[in-house]
Amino acid sequence: MAYQLLIILLLTTLFSCKNNKNTNELQKEYKTKSIDFEEFDVSNISVNAQTEIRSWKAFQSLMQVIVSMAPSKIKNTENLINSNPDSLLVYNRLFPVNTKTIHENATVERDWRTHNNLKDTIFRFEKKKDKELSFIQWNKFLVKNIPYTLSVFAKNFNYNTLTLSFSEKEETLSKEIFVLDSFYSEKYNEKKIKQLDDDWKELQLTFTPKNEGTHSIKLSFEEDSKNGDNILFYRPTLQIPTKYFSKIGEYSDKIIKEQSIVESSYYTVFFWLMQIEEELKQLLAEDAFPEKINVPAVKARFRLFETQVKELADNVKNNPNFQKQDVQKSIRNMQNTFNEIILRINNFYDSDLENQMQKINLQSDTIQKNNSENTNSAKYLQNSESII
């Protein structure tokens, strides 16, 4: 009898634990919330700054993400952005070494040698064993009917080809083999090779998924490769045409649920914050500021902007009780900082310091010329007096 009671107690305890577990899991289910962005007017960019700002690629990528957050609410950006809707901009940076990056029969490590003036981190991709597949893989949620371009910069080290591919559920949907020691650029169908300095090449493969969902993106060696075969590469990215950024945003909740653990319900806000943070990180890492604003005062404002983005992203991701008014307040602070960046850029481009310096130089030249003329006149008088 005692034995039967013990069994009943154990079963009751297990059932209770299961119910508690289910309750806890239910508590983590949050209803998706959205933020109604207030209208935000970006400060006017100076006419003197427009040409260089529009040709600053890293800034253009950042601006496109910012505008795509709320296209109908963010105003006065026409003079800040290149208007070509088909130009490719970075949508996702694919990290070669990351907890979510898959290395199959491959060693991927940083190459520490100096590579001319490249500021990017160079990686070496090496095959470990013969007669086995060898690849680097990223799993990403892709939206159907959007053309995604996988781009990577690569160089032959002791192996001559690199394969780029897209697949879904183990089925290869798009695949191209790129020859790395060719001495020409080419473009046909969805494949593109661009020849660069020092034998580097930019490789691009474009793929348009027919279904939404998680797809595998790979860099791989062919089956005939051997143990120790390797190539060098840097900056693998997923790019999309500018005009599709807003459409991507409509799927932000699905993208975030697939790729991140977010404790609160602001999936859309977190999605855009991650996009902005990546662009800011790249902008500051490239350090390709136009000459007139390549100064600490401007860079410090960009870093403040980055800090504010990271702080809000951390709260949205890890604080399940983060309130709507707190999100809106943080966004306003970011908006104010961004406008301060524009105003500082204007100050440097509109400053008449250069004109003043040119005037000073001209005045200096004039003074020297006058002094020279006076000296010559004095010598002429002395000579005249000697003759007399």
Instruction: Summarize pLDDT for 338-369 with one digit per residue, the tens.
Output: 999 999 999 999 986 555 555 555 555 555 55
Structural domain that includes position 337: 44-83+251-351
pTM of the model: 0.73
Is the pLDDT at 376 greater than 80? The verdict is: no
- Share the mean pLDDT of the chain: 82
Q: Tens of pLDDT along 50-100?
A: 999 999 989 988 998 888 877 777 888 888 887 676 778 888 889 999 999
Q: How far is CA 90 from the centre of its chain?
A: 6
- Assess whether pLDDT exceeds 60 at residue 253: yes
Considering the domain boundaries, does residue 374 fall inside one? no
CB atoms within 10 A of CB 370: 10
Helix (H, G, I), strand (E, B) or coil at 371: helix
Which range is least confidently modeled, 161-170, 175-184, 218-227, 361-370? Answer: 361-370
Question: Tokens for 157?
Answer: 């080290």
Residue 274 forms part of a structural domain = yes
Q: In terms of domains, do 151 and 256 share one?
A: no
- 365 lies in some domain: no
- More reliable by pLDDT, 5 or 209: 209
Identify the domain boundary among 244, 262, 285: 244
Q: Determine what percent of the chain is predicted with pLDDT higher than 90.
A: 45
Ranges 157-161, 180-184, 357-361, most confident = 157-161
Question: Which residue has tokens 């939404």?
Answer: 212
Amino acid at 53: I
229-243, 315-329, 359-373: which range is least confident on average? Answer: 359-373
The answer to whether residue 319 scores a pLDDT higher than 90 is no
Domain boundary among 244, 277, 307: 244
Do 113 and 60 lie in one domain? The reply is no
Same-domain check for residues 131 and 182: yes
- Does the residue 2 lie in any domain? no
Are residues 99 and 211 located together in one domain of the fold? Answer: yes
Taking CA atoms, 324 is separated from 85, 315, 330, in Å, by: 33, 12, 10
Question: DSSP alpha helices (H): ranges in 46-91?
Answer: 47-54, 57-69
Cα separation, 108 vs 138, whole angstroms: 14
For residues 288-293, give the mean pLDDT: 94
Is 198 in the same domain as 112?
Answer: yes
**Structural domain contains residue 23:** no
Looking at the fold, whether 140 and 235 belong to one and the same domain comes out as yes
Exposure class string for 84-121: b at 16+ Cβ within 10 A, else e: eeeebbbbbebebeeeeeeeebbebeebeeeeeeeeee
- Judge whether residue 278 has pLDDT over 70: yes
Give the residue from 132, 163, 133 showing the smallest Cα distance to 150. 163
Residue 272 lies in a domain: yes
Total domains in the chain come to: 2
Residue 379: per-residue pLDDT: 56
| Residue of higher predicted confidence among 179 and 86 | 179
Residue 268 corresponds to which tokens in the numbers above?
């859309």
Helix H or strand E segment including 344: helix 324-350
> Would the pLDDT of 7 be above 60?
no
Residue 376 lies in a domain: no
Instruction: From 212, 244, 276, give the residue that closes a domain.
Output: 244
